[in-house]
Amino acid sequence: MTYFMKHRTPTPFATVAAVAFLVTACGYHPRLESITVTPNTSVAVHGSQQFIAEGRDGRGDIFEISPTWSIVANGGSINDAGLFTAGTTAGTFPNTVRATEGDVSGTASVIVTPRLPLLATITLTSTGPDSLPATTTRQFLAQGKDSAGYDFAFSPTWSVVAGGGTISNTGLFTAGTMPGVYANTIKASWGNVAGYATVTVGSSAASIATMQELVHFAYDKSDLTDTSRATLDGKVRVFQSNPAMRILIVGHTDDRGTGAYNLALGTRRAEAVRDYLVAQGVATSRIELETRGETQPMTGGDTESAWADNRRGAFRILVVTDPATQPTR
């Protein structure tokens, strides 16, 4: 009895099986015959390009490969996955990228073109600490980098954004007279790219000296003299230009009188100085008081000259704007 099958289409599985049967029956064993590497391309200096290797057998069918990648001629480097990175030399490199499996290989050509770098960042540095006394100078430098992180030569335009002094066209900064922290005040720009630096302007050496001038008193007195008031007026001006400054006022006496009496007299002298400064507008929170009485003479001896030296109000700066010029307490 004969059976007929109508309208039946062979399945893909059946087709593959049939082909495999015929290949085996004919003695054909597929093997890698060729590798094609793509693309042939242009890459900028330091640029990257992914390359692809395709293997085929003698019949032209796809043949799965895991090639070894290499560079035949100068022009960069390539990793195990075929990612090529161009070197620093521009030029045409025929057949420079190679993919190899066994004794079969394929190549692709690369043209490395010069990079047209663009300035990406500007970083500012100074030749010394970022803190400097008023009216002194500090040289600032500007370094440019492109998007790949390579140095970029340029001539910046220098400016001071928000007070704090002046700067020359070569980056030489001169601090102003007003102490303070000036955030992002120094600017170096080129086109639409800019870099900034913060500076701290501290008290000048003259201001420090003024604050440390002594105030002297008559024997057994805590009253201020005209000379003392003139000295304190100079300190008021320093206070006004140094908003962060705080001081310690220490009252001293000569060695005549009892120790307890002299400690109390030292307190009255320190309070007299403080009260005058406060009357001139200095906040009490910026002043601390202390008395040493006769315990810390400035000049030794039992002479009127020595006693006059020791009857004093002394000043110690506790806080200034510039830590580099801050005396220890």
Per-residue pLDDT of 258-271, as tens digits, reads: 999 999 999 999 99
Of 157, 185, 202, the position where a domain reaches its end is 202
Of 113, 134, 156, the position where a domain reaches its end is 113
10 Å CB burial of residue 72 (0-12, 13-18, 19+) is middle
3-state secondary structure 222-247: CCCCHHHHHHHHHHHHHHHHCCCCEE
pTM of the model: 0.43
- Of 127, 245, 124, 246, the closest CA to residue 179 belongs to 245
CATH number at residue 251: 3.30.1330.60
Q: Is residue 18 part of a domain?
A: no
Contact 144, 151 (CB under 8 A): yes
- The pLDDT assigned to 141 comes to 95
Q: How many domains does the chain have?
A: 3
Are 72 and 152 in the same domain? Answer: no
Integer Cα distance of 80 and 82 in angstroms: 6
Using 50, 70 and 90 to split pLDDT, how confident is the model at 280?
very high
Are 187 and 209 in the same domain? Answer: no
Are 180 and 197 in the same domain? Answer: yes
Query: Is 329's pLDDT higher than 70?
Result: no
Q: Is residue 266 part of a domain?
A: yes
Integer Cα distance of 33 and 105 in angstroms: 9
Per-residue pLDDT of 29-53, as tens digits, reads: 899 999 999 999 999 888 899 999 9
Range of the domain at 194: 119-202
Per-residue pLDDT of 286-299, as tens digits, reads: 899 999 888 888 88
Are 297 and 243 in the same domain? Answer: yes
Are 143 and 162 in the same domain? Answer: yes
> In degrees to the nearest 10, what's the CA dihedral of 70, 76, 80, 81?
-110
Q: Is residue 13 part of a domain?
A: no
Of 49, 78, 113, the position where a domain reaches its end is 113
Are 185 and 265 in the same domain? Answer: no
CATH number at residue 83: 2.60.40.10
The full length of the chain comes to: 329
Q: Is residue 242 part of a domain?
A: yes
Q: In sequence order, which residues have a C-beta less than 8 Å from that of residue 68 and are 6 or more positions away?
A: 99, 100, 101
Per-residue pLDDT of 77-136, as tens digits, reads: 999 999 999 988 888 999 999 999 999 999 999 999 887 778 999 999 998 877 787 778
Q: In sequence order, which residues have a C-beta less than 8 Å from that of residue 7 and are 6 or more positions away?
A: none
10 Å CB burial of residue 88 (0-12, 13-18, 19+) is exposed
Are 180 and 127 in the same domain? Answer: yes
Q: Is residue 129 part of a domain?
A: yes
Are 225 and 320 in the same domain? Answer: yes
